[in-house]
A = this chain, B = another copy of it.
Amino acid sequence: MASRSGRVTATDVAREAGVSQTTVSYVLNDAPHQKISESTRRKVLDAVAKLGYQPSAAARALRLGRSELVLMLLPDVPVGDSLATLVELLGDELERHRLSLITRRTQHAPVSSLWRELMPAAVLTSLGVSAEDMAGMRAAGIPVVSVEIDAATHPLGLPIHQTLIGRMQVERLAATGHTRIGYAAPRQPRLRDFLEPRLAGVRAACAELGLEAPAVLDVPLDAAAAAAAADQWHSAVPAVTGVCAYNDETAFALLAGMRRVGLSAPGDLAVIGVDNDKLAPFAVPPLTTIDNNLDILAGRVARLIVGSIADDTVSAAPQSVPVSLVVRESA
């Protein structure tokens, strides 16, 4: 029976089981250093089941000084397919550990007020979190895992090798005989932070393979504009014959643009995307792309989080996440 409010509390369970509330807590938390007799344990568990008791997350958080929430700070970019997928996968993964994922845009509220308020069990950052905030969180004992673009500056984070992605795109194009490479960049300035490392990888790979620097053009998500870019690449001298697209979305736009000016892939212009979008197999022609294996990343990040919550030692070995080439027909 509930005390006076509608809620069933540990005290109610204690009363029902004929033990003290303390004992209930011991049983439920699997006795840190306590020995609970089997009979008591039974009585308590029975009472719990009978009353349908659920501990209050708020009370627990207040007492422990940290909640079971994982705060994910998102950069202020339009969340694309792949980031959305990562969030979803991560949420599922964390759910298995009784953790709830909360996402917040970095810009909407000062980051510091956010973590102070929520006392999250861990914080996941990607971009745009200030060094002070980082330090503050760490000082407060909150494990911070950063899924960063640039592995070098964040040695404790889990890197997505954006640079590697760019490299792999070029390598594929080079392997299929292309020597003059184009890069289809999205227009939104907001994406700059994501774009740059990928483009850097492309540039580096071109240099290493002895190719000319990539011809970078804006390819907005608009067929007409994409057509202009396609045309420009095609009629350059020497002509660009292979294009790395920032992502699959951009690749789709480019393919549509090419169609408008009578160009086809991979004959006139080979196109390779990034993300392995669900629709990539249905592009015309089916889109060759780089899969960043977000499911694997999600699993690793989740494990890293769970681990750093358990151990205080943030031994977060920054394992790089595999990235794979998916060959279809466009490149």
Contact = CB atoms under 8 A, between A and B. Distances in A.
Interface string A91-102: 110011000111
B88 A95 contact: no
Q: Within the oligomer, what is the number of copies of this chain? A: 2
B56 A140 contact: no
Given A102-B102, A108-B95, A57 B6 contact: no
Contacts of A117: 54-57
A59 interface: yes
Contacts of A277: 279
Interface stretch (A17-25, A149-157, A190-198, A250-258): A250-258
Interface string A10-33: 000000000000000000000000
Contact of A255 (B61, B118, B256, B282): B282
B118 A91 contact: no
A16 B103 CA distance: 33
Contacts of A282: 223, 252-253, 255-256
Which 8 interchain pairs have the tightest Cβ spacing?
A58-B61, A54-B116, A252-B282, A256-B282, A58-B62, A284-B284, A100-B102, A84-B84
